[in-house]
């Protein structure tokens, strides 16, 4: 009799377990996992930043290098055969730490130049024997289709910080850095060269120059600068400036609109962030 009761109890326990499992089953897809985490957000006392990091970490499993790479047209490169006097201004202006070294054209990447490797040149008065090839490090080449989680793992194992992206035909499509991948997880990473952004959309530098957030509503921009930009096609001043350029501009690129000069102060490989605005002329 006791055996029957035990067997019956085990059966009920198994049945109850199956019911509970069907009701609270483990997430089977990324969407289900995100919904589960969001439902648990309050119970786990996760703040918004923590949730963004979790979602970003999950997102890179589905993203490819082509989604975040810096396009070939926007690569800041050093040309083989250039003298320090020719390429140092480029390095100083861009404030990057790594540069692809190209040959005849951008499809011929010979390697990578690290800015820190050039520090000994400061103490050298005679640079007549300088050979750029002596400073070039091997480049890492990856396909556009590579998953970001796989790339991040590769960066860690090989201790690389930059990779050259190759398209399906073997041409150079662009480049990607470890910072680009990490920004998909933790958000924008600003360095000491980035201009600080406060809560003000429009901030005066002096009587003639202003720092303007690209997300400033056109209505607010028009009111401040007494302009008449249309709000029909774009909501922000950044959208109008982007249309004027016709491409995603690099830092320090300028254009003139309605008598105002717009200079890109801060931008990444996806959007304009800050503009410097002053009267043209």
CB 249 within 8 A of CB 238: no
189 by Cβ neighbours in 10 Å (0-12 / 13-18 / 19+) ranks as exposed
Looking up tokens 């979602």 gives: 55
Question: Is residue 54, in this structure, part of any structural domain at all?
Answer: no
Domain boundary among 186, 215, 249: 186
Q: Do 91 and 182 belong together in one domain?
A: yes
CB 142 within 8 A of CB 151: yes
Q: What CATH number did the domain enclosing 272 receive?
A: 3.30.465.10
Q: Is the pTM of this model over 0.85?
A: no
pLDDT class of 177 with cuts at 50, 70, 90: very high
Specify the pLDDT at position 195. Answer: 47
Question: Is residue 196, in this structure, part of any structural domain at all?
Answer: no
* pLDDT digits 0-9 by tens, 76-86: 899 998 888 88
* pLDDT digits 0-9 by tens, 56-80: 777 788 888 988 888 887 788 999 9
Specify the pLDDT at position 143. Answer: 96
Q: Do 154 and 221 belong together in one domain?
A: no
CB 262 within 8 A of CB 254: yes
- Work out how many domains the chain is built from and give that number: 3
Specify the pLDDT at position 248. Answer: 80
DSSP state of 138: P
Q: What are phi and psi of 239, to 5 degrees?
A: -65, -40
Joined together, the tokens standing for residue 245 give 């350029």
- In percent, the amount of the chain with pLDDT more than 70 equals 76
CB 148 within 8 A of CB 69: no
Length in residues, the chain = 281
Flag whether pLDDT at 123 surpasses 50.
Answer: yes
Q: Do 169 and 214 belong together in one domain?
A: no
Q: Do 92 and 139 belong together in one domain?
A: yes
Q: Do 266 and 217 belong together in one domain?
A: yes
> By residue range, what is the domain housing residue 236?
202-279
Domain boundary among 186, 220, 250: 186
Question: Is residue 58, in this structure, part of any structural domain at all?
Answer: no
Q: Do 17 and 81 belong together in one domain?
A: no
Flag whether pLDDT at 16 surpasses 70.
Answer: no
Evaluate the CA torsion angle 87, 139, 135, 132 in order and state its sign.
negative
Specify the pLDDT at position 34. Answer: 66
């Amino acid at each position: 009799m006791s055996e029957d009761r035990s067997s019956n109890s085990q059966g009920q326990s198994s049945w109850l377990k199956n019911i509970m499992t069907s009701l609270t089953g483990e997430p089977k897809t990324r969407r289900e996992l995100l919904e589960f985490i969001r439902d648990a957000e309050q119970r786990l006392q996760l703040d918004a930043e923590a949730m963004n990091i979790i979602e970003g970490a999950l997102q890179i499993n589905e993203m490819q290098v082509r989604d975040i790479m810096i396009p070939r047209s926007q690569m800041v490169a050093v040309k083989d055969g250039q003298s320090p006097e020719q390429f140092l201004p480029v390095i100083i202006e861009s404030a990057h730490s790594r540069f692809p070294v190209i040959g005849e054209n951008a499809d011929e990447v010979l390697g990578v130049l690290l800015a820190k490797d050039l520090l000994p040149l400061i103490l050298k008065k005679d640079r007549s024997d300088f050979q750029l090839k002596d400073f070039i490090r091997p480049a890492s080449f990856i396909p556009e289709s590579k998953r970001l989680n796989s790339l991040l793992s590769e960066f860690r194992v090989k201790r690389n910080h930059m990779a050259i992206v190759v398209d399906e035909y073997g041409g150079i499509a662009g480049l990607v850095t470890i910072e680009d991948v990490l920004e998909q997880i933790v958000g924008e990473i600003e360095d000491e060269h980035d201009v600080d952004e406060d809560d003000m959309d429009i901030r005066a530098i002096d009587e003639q120059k202003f720092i303007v957030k690209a997300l400033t509503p056109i209505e607010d921009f028009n009111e401040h600068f007494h302009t008449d930009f249309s709000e029909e096609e774009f909501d922000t001043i950044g959208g109008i400036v982007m249309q004027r350029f016709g491409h995603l501009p690099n830092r320090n690129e300028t254009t003139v609109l309605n008598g105002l000069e717009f200079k890109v102060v801060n931008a990444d490989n996806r959007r304009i962030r800050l503009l410097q605005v002053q009267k043209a002329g």
